[in-house]
Structure 1
Amino acid sequence: MNALLRRLRDDRGSASTQLVLVVPVLLLLALLIVQFALVWHARHIAQYAAQRALATARTKGATATDGRAQARRSLAALSSRILTVPSVAVDRTTTQTTVRVGGTVMAVVPGLALHASGTASGPTERITAPAGDRS
């Protein structure tokens, strides 16, 4: 009985030591999971804004400025704090329109700066004559 009491006294504080070592690791793991979920969400926001801007910029009579304005409106509506410092680039030619939206993802883990981006591309709408014989 005396040996059992001595053994129980020797183990005192081991649960506290284990708790001090394990809890910070678990908290960091939880924060990393939240951080990467925010990156995933920010990518979807950037892709949505790029698709909306493409739909606007590729129409006949529209300009690259119209596409940029639409992307900014979409970002303002969806990503007030998730996608910070957003950038929008619209390249519109007579045959192809490309929109790139990117930004920095809100940081949950201090010191971790991650970026998210989305790209959409499609043909520019224009009036064409049917190909074939014109006799």
Structure 2
Amino acid sequence: MRDHGRLTDWWRGRRWADDRGDASIQMAIVYPFVLLAAIAVIQASMWYYARQIALTAAREGVTAARAYQAGPADGTARARQVLGRTAGDSLRSVSVSASSDGERVRVQVRGVAQSLLPGVPGLTITQSASGPAERWVEP
């Protein structure tokens, strides 16, 4: 009976010895996917934030450009002012354009969202807003 106990002890010891390193191998397989998912979530958040900055600048530009006796240049100036305050490094290579046909004003903001990975170009973002121009109309 005692020999059976030794055999069981040997088997238990052998089994635990064979399991050594399994956690390390599992982490080596799983960790890159976890890291990739975390980077993807952060990059998507940075892209979304840059889009919101561009949209806010375009909306502010339209608000300024559609005011009575204002023009597209006023909208461009206001959009650039908003970008100067809020964009920081989140939105790079920014260009602002505004146009008006006399009845509607449109402001477009283009830029590149910052990339989390060095050497990888960011995503191009284009946001625009438009609205009716305020004007005096004879009754």
Regarding TM over 0.5, the answer is: yes
Q: CA deviation at 1:120?
A: 1.0
Q: Which residue of 2 aligns with 1:36?
A: 44
Letter in 1 for 2:107: V
1:45 alignment partner, SS class: helix
Rg comparison, structure with higher value? 2
- Whether 2:101 is the aligned partner of 1:93: answer yes
Q: Give the alignment partner of residue 7 of structure 1, picking from 15, 30, 49.
A: 15
Asked whether the 8 Å contact 1:32–1:109 carries over to 2, the reply is no
Structure 1 residue ranges without an equivalent (≥5): 131-135
Q: What is the root-mean-square deviation in Å for CA atoms of aligned residues?
A: 1.5
Which one has a larger percent helix, Structure 1 or Structure 2?
2
Q: CA deviation at 1:116?
A: 2.7
Structure 2 residue ranges without an equivalent (≥5): 1-8
What is the TM-score when the length of structure 1 is the normalising length?
0.88
Q: How many aligned positions are there?
A: 130
Q: Which residue of 2 aligns with 1:25?
A: 33
Residues 1-135 of structure 1: pairs in structure 2 closer than 5 A = 1-110=9-118, 111=120, 113-130=122-139
Structure 2 distance, partners of 1:79, 1:20, is 38
What is the TM-score when the length of structure 2 is the normalising length?
0.86
Q: CA deviation at 1:37?
A: 1.1
Q: CA deviation at 1:16?
A: 0.7
